[in-house]
Amino acid sequence: MEVIVVRRGVVHKRAVVAVAHTLQDGGVVLVPGDTSYLLAIQVGNKKALERLNKIKKQPKRKYYSVMLKDFGDIAHYTDISNVQYRVMKRALPGPYTFIVKASREIPKIMLQKRKEIGIRMPDNPFMQALLEEISKPLLVTTAHVDNRDFFEDPDEQSDGWENCVDFLIDAGMVPAELTSIIDMSGDEWEVKREGKGDTSLL
């Protein structure tokens, strides 16, 4: 596992480029997001998805999120109405996951026979720069496995991860918080989880 230490909230170009190359080569990375450290792969890479499932100890993980760069990506990779678009515009970028219908641009291996995906847009300079560099969506999940603690502090918790991931971006302590999940895939919208994002704004 290669490690680059960065300051949280600061974009380090060398780190962004190195992680982007790792993702493009089918790697799995551990990076600081806007709510927690995240495990991430590039959307569409089957071998990387199999590795991620193995790390998470899920033969067919059901609820990974797709992290998108901007609203142009949302229009491209999802099938949403104008009303849904306006609601998401009020919340994103930010700590929300919206479950919506996927467009045909999302590879089938990422959907696990479903038609819906959870989408995120990060309010985080490093992740925004990484998405810009790689020019493709990322599949992400909170760095947490079974009954182990959430990965929050690389100085204390790197043991056990070095053989799982190819790259760690060490931004110091990042307290783990969960996104708020809003299911907009059906006729009735539903808040599935109250997290960091204020759902009253929606």
- CA–CA separation, 200 vs 87, rounded Å? 12
List all residues 6 or more positions away from 133 whose beta carbon is below 8 Å from its beta carbon: 16, 17, 20
User: Which pLDDT value is given to residue 62?
Assistant: 58
Q: Cβ-count burial of 25 within 10 angstroms (0-12 exposed, 13-18 middle, 19+ buried)? A: exposed
**Per-chain mean pLDDT for the chain:** 89
pLDDT of 191 strictly over 90: yes
- Residue 112: C-alpha distances to residues 12, 61, 115, 149 (Å): 35, 8, 9, 27
For 95-127, write each residue's pLDDT tens digit: 999 999 999 888 776 666 678 899 999 999 999
Which domains, from first to last, does the chain contain? 2-201 (3.90.870.10)
Predicted TM-score (pTM) above 0.85: yes
* Tokens matching residue 146: 């079974």
How far is C-alpha 133 from the chain's CA centre?
15
As a whole number of Å, the end-to-end CA separation of the chain is 40
